[in-house]
Structure 1
Amino acid sequence: MTTTAVKEERVITFGDVFGRDAGGIIVLLVLFGAMTLLSDQFLTGDNLANLARQVAIFGIIAIGQLLVILTAGIDLSVGSVLGLSGCVTAELLAGGVPIPVAILGGLAVAVIAGLINGLLVAFAGLPPFIVTLGMLGIARGVVLVFTNASTIQPLPDAFGEIANGSLIGVPNLLWLFAVVAIVTAFVLRRTVFGRYIYAIGSNPESARLAGVPVKRVLVAVYAIAGLLAGVGGVLFTSRLNAGIPTAGTGYELNAIAACVIGGASLFGAKGGAFGAAAGALIVATLNNGGNLLAVNAFYLQIIIGLLILVAVSFDQWQGRRSR
């Protein structure tokens, strides 16, 4: 008697490919479809280019924020670090420093701020909320002091081309945003460092007992968040071709909103780079579409706030259901 083995073929779904990011991507696609139907101007080349430039800077910051959130932390200083990095870069450029050196100077300041956050969280055992809230005030105060709260300009035209230029018809900012999202997604999904981040967010003590260098990973995560905030600062300054002392104000809240809307959990270990990128696009699309439809900006803030509450409530519901 013979038996015939039947091999079941499993269909790979959208959720299998993108995991927890899928929800944010689906919402983004629905939102794009709705805006296309509601406004003839939405899918025009000029508007999409404008949308790309709007989302890229705080989208990059959101991806840095995501890394911190995955460890069950939070970074409230990214907006202020953006402003500090941008103004340091602008000050160096105004002083005649070559563009590459000025950019490195701005990024170095941002990384130092991130390292300080990480060291205080990892080795001093201070709560991330308190540490980064303190850095928010320090970074903003420093930039206001050394700029005397004044705009820094003029800056070289070549520097402005970094953010305002395009490659094969696609804005440079969008290319940079895509590269950051793809590289971060690869690191989180395919590297040991990425697995360490998720392990720490799930249970730091268990991760430590399993051999994960928890403190070093935390320092690295906050330093990377600082670096990406610095990248955002350089790009923001390049886009306006001026150093703005108040640049980045409120960006930390937009970054957190993008992560949560994109599927990240504030309790750690859940979320992905594409979800954070989708969340950033959702927030930017709502603001952009609202402007096209002449919707009161205050209503848009209410809608974004409701989206955050729905996303967090859904995450809580999923957590209770899985127990």
Structure 2
Amino acid sequence: MAKLFSGVTRQYNDFKQLNSQDKKTFLKELLINNSLYIFMVIAIIAIQIISPKFLSSSSIINIVSLSAANLPIALGIAGCIILTGTDLSAGRIVGLVACVSASLLQASGYANKMFVDLDTLPIFVVLLLAIAIGAIVGFVNGFCVSKFSLHPFIVTLATQLIVYGILLMYLMIGTNNGQSISGLDAGYTGFIAGAAISIGGKGIPNFVWYAVLITIIMWFIWNKTKFGKNMFAVGSNPEAANVSGVNVSRTIIMVFVLAGIMYGLTGFVESARIGSNSAATGLNYELDAIAACVIGGVSFVGGIGKIRGVIIGVVLLRIIFVGLTFLSIDANMQYVIKGLIILVACAVDMRKYLVRK
């Protein structure tokens, strides 16, 4: 915090030394570069005025919970964006992991159990399987991008379709016949969605604390490990990173594997959070994650991004969508708004890059 105030003070002192024309230019750039944040703050204030219950304690806990559920997938995609790529397969990986987790953790006495002769597996065994599924698909993505020099957009579009096909076939196994998977074991739902701590009589789901732990681990990986430094170096300039001794291919693969692990964790949490999983689980989750990353300052030009930015982006986006629900905005219209947010955020990001250049 002291470092933040120090930086603001330094920028203010530099601003005072500018002439009047430079001050106008500085303020203009400041407003343009932060236009999305300004718009969102204005929107939040307007929604609160129209609907006073929008920022009530129960609503805030709901926003925090929804943000926590979406944070791991955003942290995973953020790494791919830092490499000047993206990952379109993220949502389908979440869906596959959610359905696999649900099928293996259905209550033993549930009438429509997918695997009738299979006892409910230990939670941590399924958690490891969820991580493994995400890591395997992430490895395939990273391997194809690094070894075959394919663009991440094409690779992850292909794996998105492959994973979705696998999911559809999986849902046809046994007696399920493509139906939603529900009737989850109480121990599983309690582990994820149970509440050990309450505020104002409303419980904070356990997965919020898991998201905090995951975020701390990701911050450490990004900022305190050699891999994290290599990730930013490859994203900034892969040729220069290679000359500096960085194994570019291995770094790319590791970034996608780490992203896959984040998707696996998201799917494991999502499975218990929503309680009933189908082929639609995870649909378009990657769009929310990409939007949150770009809003949070993770740049598609590569090598730029911070964990706190991803958190801010996820929370702001979730606040806006919850606010739209409070205003009874049509769900279909929310897709239009989401697309506009991504478009504007990318345009502002590219403008920052061109100005720096």
Give the TM-score category using the shorter length.
Answer: 0.7 to 0.9
Q: C-alpha displacement at 1:106, in angstroms?
A: 2.0
In the alignment, which residue of structure 1 is the partner of 2:341? 307
Query: What amino acid is aligned across from residue 80 of structure 2 in structure 1?
Result: V
CA contact (8 A) 1:157 1:241 kept: no
Counterpart CA distance in 2 for 1:10 and 1:161 is 39
In the alignment, which residue of structure 2 is the partner of 1:110? 134
Q: C-alpha displacement at 1:189, in angstroms?
A: 2.5
In the alignment, which residue of structure 1 is the partner of 2:92? 80
Counterpart CA distance in 1 for 2:38 and 2:223 is 20
Query: What amino acid is aligned across from residue 139 of structure 1 in structure 2?
Result: V
Task: State whether structure 2 residue 163 is matched by structure 1 residue 139.
Answer: yes
In the alignment, which residue of structure 2 is the partner of 1:268? 302
CA contact (8 A) 2:180 2:277 kept: yes
In the alignment, which residue of structure 2 is the partner of 1:241? 275
Q: C-alpha displacement at 1:246, in angstroms?
A: 2.0
Give runs of aligned pairs for residues 49-198 of structure 1, distance below 5 A: 49-94=61-106, 95-96=118-119, 97-148=121-172, 149-169=178-198, 170-198=204-232
Q: C-alpha displacement at 1:26, in angstroms?
A: 7.3
Give runs of aligned pairs for residues 41-56 of structure 1, distance below 5 A: 41-56=53-68
The superposition leaves residues 232-251 of structure 1 with CA deviations (integer Å, 9 ceiling, x where unpaired) of: 11111111233323210111
Task: State whether structure 2 residue 52 is matched by structure 1 residue 40.
Answer: yes
Query: What amino acid is aligned across from residue 109 of structure 1 in structure 2?
Result: I
In the alignment, which residue of structure 2 is the partner of 1:6? none
Query: What amino acid is aligned across from residue 111 of structure 1 in structure 2?
Result: A
Q: C-alpha displacement at 1:52, in angstroms?
A: 2.4
Query: What amino acid is aligned across from residue 165 of structure 2 in structure 1?
Result: G
CA contact (8 A) 1:162 1:235 kept: no
> Structure 1 stretch 96-105 or stretch 215-224: which is displaced more?
96-105
Counterpart CA distance in 1 for 2:310 and 2:8 is 17
Number of residues of Structure 1 aligned to a counterpart in Structure 2: 310
Query: What amino acid is aligned across from residue 205 of structure 1 in structure 2?
Result: E
Query: What amino acid is aligned across from residue 85 of structure 1 in structure 2?
Result: V
Choose which of 247, 252, 257 in structure 1 pairs with 2:291. Answer: 257
Query: What amino acid is aligned across from residue 114 of structure 1 in structure 2?
Result: G
Q: C-alpha displacement at 1:28, in angstroms?
A: 6.3
Query: What amino acid is aligned across from residue 153 of structure 2 in structure 1?
Result: F
Partner SS for 1:151 = coil
Counterpart CA distance in 2 for 1:81 and 1:10 is 37
Choose which of 308, 323, 333 in structure 2 pairs with 1:289. Answer: 323
Q: Report the structure number with the largest CA radius of gyration.
A: 2
The superposition leaves residues 57-107 of structure 1 with CA deviations (integer Å, 9 ceiling, x where unpaired) of: 222101100011101121110101001111111222233212211221122
CA contact (8 A) 1:84 1:110 kept: no
> Structure 1 stretch 191-200 or stretch 132-141: which is displaced more?
191-200
- Taking a change above 3 Å as real, the CA distance of residues 10 and 204 of structure 1, as seen in their structure-2 partners, is closer
- Taking a change above 3 Å as real, the CA distance of residues 15 and 248 of structure 1, as seen in their structure-2 partners, is farther
Unmatched segments (≥5 aa) in structure 1: 1-8, 17-21
Q: Indicate the percent of aligned positions where both proteins have the same amino acid.
A: 33
Counterpart CA distance in 2 for 1:82 and 1:292 is 27
Query: What amino acid is aligned across from residue 84 of structure 1 in structure 2?
Result: L
In the alignment, which residue of structure 1 is the partner of 2:6? 12
Q: CA RMSD in A?
A: 2.5
Query: What amino acid is aligned across from residue 49 of structure 1 in structure 2?
Result: I
Counterpart CA distance in 2 for 1:36 and 1:162 is 33
Counterpart CA distance in 2 for 1:299 and 1:281 is 20
- Taking a change above 3 Å as real, the CA distance of residues 321 and 164 of structure 1, as seen in their structure-2 partners, is same
- Taking a change above 3 Å as real, the CA distance of residues 294 and 68 of structure 1, as seen in their structure-2 partners, is same
